[in-house]
Amino acid sequence: MATDYYAVLGVRRDASQDEIKKAFRRLARELHPDVNPDPKTQERFKEINAAYEVLSDPQKKQVYDLGGDPLSASGGGGAGGFGQGGFGNFSDIMDAFFGTASQRGPRSRTRRGQDAMIRLEIDLNEAAFGTTKDIQVDTAVVCTTCSGEGAAPGTSAQTCDMCRGRGEVSQVTRSFLGQVMTSRPCPQCQGFGTVVPTPCPECAGDGRIRSRRTLTVKIPAGVDNGTRIQLAGEGEVGPGGGPAGDLYVEIHEVPHAVFQRRGDDLHCTVTLPMTAASLGTKVPLETLDGMADIDIRPGTQSGQSIPLHQHGITHLRGGGRGDLIVHVEVLTPMKMDVEQERLMRDLAKLRGEERPTGQFQPGQQGLFSRLKDAFNGR
């Protein structure tokens, strides 16, 4: 050949594709007509475009290295080809000036699957001490008929005859730069570079099917509402039998009939008659650890709290447990018979409480009032 494309770009004959591309970008920035309008420079710019068009294409480069005509062999060299002085692939020109990466070549049919999430209800006891649960998961799995290939048994994907496996087709248009070649995904193979003439009848060519399976999930002690447990690789299998995403199990704690959870502490309220609160008693309570006697001391007032340490929820991170707080509510009798009322009056007389004057105290401050006083230095 009369033209040495390697010499035009200033690279060795064993230069890599990356070295060829870097040389083209460097020269394109120097010789582009918008930068240097000199007619001789424009001819030089056409030469580096022609050289890059051949050396950047493995098929054309192989024909050129063997001494053949790469443009004839690939069907190029027409009115819009680089051999006729066009300005090359538009993405390569933009890459030369702005450093954008050209995404060439077919895209893979195999892609990672999506993550999935399911809700799992557990009771308070399971949240406190942990448990193991079997869950039913309905997700996409690899098609067993085609093993994720997407083609019917005995067949395989074939190279697209429109783009010849490149995944993209080129089109020549006219612009302010002259004749510009642009590329777009091949409409026949959707950019994959291959077509599946006979799709798998089981998955319709997707390489995956829906299936229900059973998984065992270990629930750690101390989980709370909204806690998510990640099961890596147990989500949706990707198209083309691609790697599966992750499965997230979101915990939802069923409300307890007696206890209310606040962090790792448990709270409950015990209602006592006035006599029991005055004289003292023991109240049996079914805790998470079994039966326990709540010691109500004589003179216990309504609103008092009795803590049972280490009877709450296990700390999710770190050892130990929260507390169980028992709140006392003392009931004042609303209706009494004649004998009960007589006894109550006798008790009041013995205690000197027949005509109590009462003790008045300032009302309890709310949160915002206390904050205001704190800022004012009170």
Q: How many CB atoms are located within 10 Å of the residue 269 CB?
A: 12
In terms of Cα–Cα distance, which of 164, 15, 55 is closest to 63? 55
Sorted by sequence, the CB contacts under 8 Å of residue 290 that are 6+ apart come out as: none
What gap in Å lies between CA 166 and CA 121, rounded to an integer? Answer: 50
Sorted by sequence, the CB contacts under 8 Å of residue 263 that are 6+ apart come out as: 313, 322
Alpha helices of the chain — where are they, by DSSP H?
5-9, 17-31, 39-55, 58-65, 70-73, 90-98, 124-129, 274-279, 338-350, 367-375
Does 268 carry a binding-site annotation? no
What gap in Å lies between CA 85 and CA 119, rounded to an integer? Answer: 63
Does 200 carry a binding-site annotation? yes
* CA dihedral of 121, 125, 129, 135, whole degrees rounded to 10: -30
In terms of Cα–Cα distance, which of 219, 251, 212, 217 is closest to 232? 217
Q: Which residues are annotated as a binding site?
A: 143, 146, 160, 163, 186, 189, 200, 203
Q: Which residues are annotated as a binding site for Zn(2+)?
A: 143, 146, 160, 163, 186, 189, 200, 203
